[in-house]
Structure 1
């Protein structure tokens, strides 16, 4: 999308200029209509960047997000939803410095200063950029960047009326889709740990079981709880108990693949869904979690508390489950069987 400098035009050039502006305005409207109806974050950003790149014959279009907490959650959501297009994260102070804390587009034909805003694969092949700040709640939270090999397409000092319009529309869409995503997170995330909640498990597990059947792949799950949670709460207080659960959530996430999902089921109970994993693989994962918790104790007010968990496993590699509820119930029963065995062995 290029916009020419102002210079004297004859009548035919004025007509062509007006037609070109009309085409740009119509294209912006078409983009707005299509992407504003998308409620899924990944679909919104993928479709938006694809349309801008295609409609305006650009070489690259990507998003840059500042490293504020809300954007970290957004980036995680986009990964979960399988966003296909490039999304970079940079320090907020660096982003504001590079866009000079301006709410209007920044046109760049000397790219060296802006390298950290450019995907590594594009740094040596682009000639100019248009950086469109994204504004949400009256602050700059990111940018959509248009890249082209043509060094003369975007130059400082050029008129950028339509680019500014695009930036405003994208910011409005960004705010809207993020607000919807926040509502979704409130419904599907556990407020204490940030993990997916039981309601989300009730939706996700039947889908995973159906997918496993359809593609003939194994599916396993772990039902886990903390052996000493009541004692921790009684001895050190509920603040310690809450911190302990958040600690466990971080450990579980760090030890799992991107395709795996961990849910807070209730209280100190967690469920881990393991697509394409057999019973023996699930067993190995559970044992790895136990070993890691033994090696990395939970620290509370300069005290080291060794976390202990028990688990039960259900897997399609051992039984043909009729539904997700039966699979989950079996894992729960195996959990309590293991706890009884361990208690009897003491």
Structure 2
């Protein structure tokens, strides 16, 4: 029996679309960071299918939301990413795991559109994306033409693309997690000692070259052993996390905060003199005063000691000298506190 020409034409068209999807998959398959992955994906989908509007929506509570928000230097993601709550996302697309097509009542999908975007949308295709089974958002395509994504059109190929993108995303997420652990302290999320020392060397060389100030603050918690002994190690960890968060909240955009070891932390303050570190320490003290750590019916205040060293101090010839001098100043401060407390 002869196959009708219309079916043959449809099969041929589907084969061409499948080849284009395969080309997109190959182009993103080896990318192992979120920024390059999404930039390449959005660009390729738009170019390959000549779709005027392609963007992603990320669920705010998803595992990758913070990492996407941190990509401030990505122009593509700034203009082509929206963030949406999980409840709003489900209200728009329901519990569908398949792509959703629409060309009527499109105003209801406005929460999916990037805030600064001004899209002329006649029809839209929303393909849910998953990482290890968790719904994290969607790949969205829109056209001015009303019948481009008309409900009832076969979405099988789009569903396959969504699945392949989701598998690639799982791979990228796993790699990004390993990379994060390589550079960050697992408890506090701050940079680890090895990365901090590398950054300090860079900032030291820059300060020397341009004759700009540079200061380092070495800090540790007062009576940390007593916290662990009195309230338990879980509460000791809470104190470390709370302190780390306050260190980060008090810093300026260019300051660097790291966990050195145990209850010891380091803050690198570029373009800051020894005297100017007082502003940072004042902000830190104010933050900690506002948030004692609560344990059942009681609470305890986090107190800390510090030592400061500046590139202008005598004997500072290397970046390691800054750390050593700041550590020595911290030791003197701790010793003086013990003397005063008797």
Q: TM-score, normalised by structure 2?
A: 0.82
Aligned residue among 119, 127, 134 for 2:129: 134
- 1:256 aligned onto 2:247: no
The corresponding residue for 1:79 is 70
Shift of 1:322: 5.2
Counterpart contact for 2:255–2:270, Cα < 8 Å: yes
C-alpha distance after superposition, 1:269-319 (max 9, x if no partner): 112234454544433112210232234322222323222112223444668
1:152-301 equivalent positions in 2, closer than 5 A: 152-209=147-204, 219-301=214-296
Counterpart contact for 2:46–2:53, Cα < 8 Å: yes
Counterpart contact for 1:263–1:271, Cα < 8 Å: yes
Counterpart contact for 1:222–1:286, Cα < 8 Å: no
SS for the counterpart of 2:91 is: helix
The corresponding residue for 2:141 is 146
Aligned residue among 27, 31, 40 for 2:33: 40
Aligned length, in residue pairs: 334
Tell which deviates more after alignment, 93-102 or 174-183. 93-102
Structure 1 residues 102, 148: CA separation in 2 closer, same or farther (over 3 Å shift)? same
SS for the counterpart of 1:120 is: coil
Shift of 1:332: 1.9
Where structure 1 has 5 or more consecutive residues not aligned to the other structure, the ranges are 1-6
Counterpart contact for 1:206–1:324, Cα < 8 Å: yes
Equivalent-residue separation in structure 2 for 1:317 and 1:55 (angstroms): 57
The corresponding residue for 1:4 is none
Counterpart contact for 2:126–2:138, Cα < 8 Å: yes
- 1:61 aligned onto 2:79: no
SS for the counterpart of 1:121 is: coil
Counterpart contact for 1:283–1:313, Cα < 8 Å: no
The corresponding residue for 1:100 is 94
Counterpart contact for 1:42–1:78, Cα < 8 Å: no
Tell which deviates more after alignment, 55-64 or 111-120. 55-64
Shift of 1:320: 10
C-alpha distance after superposition, 1:109-158 (max 9, x if no partner): 23222222221222664333221111222332221222334444222222
Counterpart contact for 2:63–2:136, Cα < 8 Å: no
SS for the counterpart of 2:70 is: helix
Tell which deviates more after alignment, 272-281 or 177-186. 272-281
C-alpha distance after superposition, 1:168-212 (max 9, x if no partner): 221111010001112223333323223332233244433454566
Equivalent-residue separation in structure 2 for 1:274 and 1:148 (angstroms): 49
Tell which deviates more after alignment, 184-193 or 168-177. 184-193
Shift of 1:98: 2.3
C-alpha distance after superposition, 1:18-52 (max 9, x if no partner): 3x655544443333233222222222222222332
SS for the counterpart of 1:307 is: coil
SS for the counterpart of 1:242 is: helix
Tell which deviates more after alignment, 238-247 or 20-29. 20-29
Structure 1 residues 213, 29: CA separation in 2 closer, same or farther (over 3 Å shift)? farther
Equivalent-residue separation in structure 1 for 2:23 and 2:252 (angstroms): 39
Structure 1 residues 149, 77: CA separation in 2 closer, same or farther (over 3 Å shift)? closer
Shift of 1:79: 0.6
Tell which deviates more after alignment, 28-37 or 282-291. 28-37
- 1:49 aligned onto 2:60: no
